[in-house]
Amino acid sequence: MKAWPAVAVGLAAALWLADEVVDQPPPRPSPRAGREPGPPPSANGLVPPPVGRLQGGRRDSSSRPTLCLQPLGSFGGEALAALRRDLSRDGPVVVMGRVPVPPPAWRGAGQYDGEVILAALADRQPAGSWLLAVADVDGTKPGRTHAFGLTAASCGRAVVFARRLARGTSVAGYHRRLVVTARHELGHLAGLGHCDDPRCVMRLSRTVADTDRKRPEPCRRCRTGQR
């Protein structure tokens, strides 16, 4: 199996994170001659990849990039199938071959660093696609006790940590938590920031109870950009 590349701390620190608003976004490159400038930054300071237009208050998913669903470690089976079924409603989904959780991401106490995982997955992501990794482990990032997911929005990559989502619920409840968390991270890839509506999928979850309160879709304000 192909060895994971060494990941420098500086590279991980350069990632856009779903759980934070980055104070200083990187400078945008000048548009090439003969091309129109790209989209302006969204409310959270990120420049979203092209994902279609809003039609009737909902985002047209016909031009959403292909979503590559990347299982990590032992994640798979019914949970992977349920997640694929749900996310396929919004556009094409390709399930990639399972690979190990990158060993450099290990942080002890059963946790893995999401920033390092996102950086290490760069060579797994086909050009022009989004990549959503799901790992049956507990995740974290510097300064946090845990994380349900992280997003590198400028790179089109995200990761969901499933271990805590499976605790204290039924199989159906676990699958719902996976969908809600995945759709939250994909919302960040589409340029959405966090929302203060506790029922909106873009609400920041600090506990699984927060996740259980959320619907698996954005609220009207997030869908229409009226925030």
Domain 64-194 class? alpha beta
Residue 210 has pLDDT above 60, yes or no: yes
Average pLDDT over residues 126-141: 96
What is the token pair recorded at 10? Answer: 């500086």
What is the band of 128 on the pLDDT scale with cuts at 50, 70, 90?
Answer: very high
Least confident of 21-25, 26-30, 56-60, 142-146: 21-25
What is the band of 227 on the pLDDT scale with cuts at 50, 70, 90?
Answer: low
More confident residue, 15 or 222: 222
Residue 138 has pLDDT above 60, yes or no: yes
| Domain-wise residue ranges, the chain | 64-194
pTM exceeding 0.85: no
Question: Could you give the residue numbers annotated as active site?
Answer: 185
Residue 119 has pLDDT above 60, yes or no: yes
